[in-house]
């Protein structure tokens, strides 16, 4: 990454990537924000020197990860994506933990 602007960066671990100290949460991608809105947010963040994006497979019913991937097309090398998995949100039902090996394999592919 060549552009740092005024933002601070930290290295993840001793050999990991440099990430901006400010990140973008994508919980609204696929719910409050459509694909075009998500793309505008991602591009503005990258243009402003933010390279850390946080998502999860449950955000936006799965659309968050999809929208983020589409928005990063052609710029993927500029971003660090943090994601998480293990919870299933079900309408009015309580959240449910998912840790079966088959689910974990699918989540990280």
Q: What is the pLDDT of residues 41-63, one digit of tens each?
A: 999 999 999 999 999 988 888 89
CA-CA distance, 17 to 10, in Å (whole number)?
Answer: 8
Neighbours of 68 (CB within 10 A): 25
**75 φ/ψ angles, rounded to the nearest 5 degrees:** -130, 15
Rounded Cα distance between 57 and 13, Å, is: 25
The more confident residue out of 88 and 70 is 70
Domain ranges of the chain: 9-84
The pTM is what? 0.81
For residue 25, pLDDT over 80 is answered with yes
| 103 is a catalytic site residue | no
Question: What's the confidence (pLDDT) of residue 3?
Answer: 53
Q: Which of 59, 64, 65, 72 is catalytic?
A: 59
105 or 33: which carries more pLDDT confidence?
A: 33
Q: Which of 18, 2, 46 is nearest to 10 (CA)?
A: 18
Torsion over CA: 38, 80, 59, 66 (sign): positive
């Amino acid at each position: 990454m060549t552009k740092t602007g005024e933002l601070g960066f930290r290295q993840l671990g001793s050999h990991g990537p440099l990430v901006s100290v400010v990140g973008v949460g994508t919980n609204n991608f696929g719910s409050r924000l459509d694909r075009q809105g998500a793309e505008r947010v991602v591009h503005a963040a990258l243009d402003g020197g933010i390279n850390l994006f946080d998502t999860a497979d449950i955000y936006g019913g799965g659309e968050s990860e999809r929208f983020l991937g589409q928005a990063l097309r052609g710029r993927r090398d500029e971003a660090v994506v943090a994601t998480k998995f293990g919870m299933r949100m079900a309408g009015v039902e309580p959240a449910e933990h998912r840790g079966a090996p088959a689910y974990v394999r699918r989540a990280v592919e």
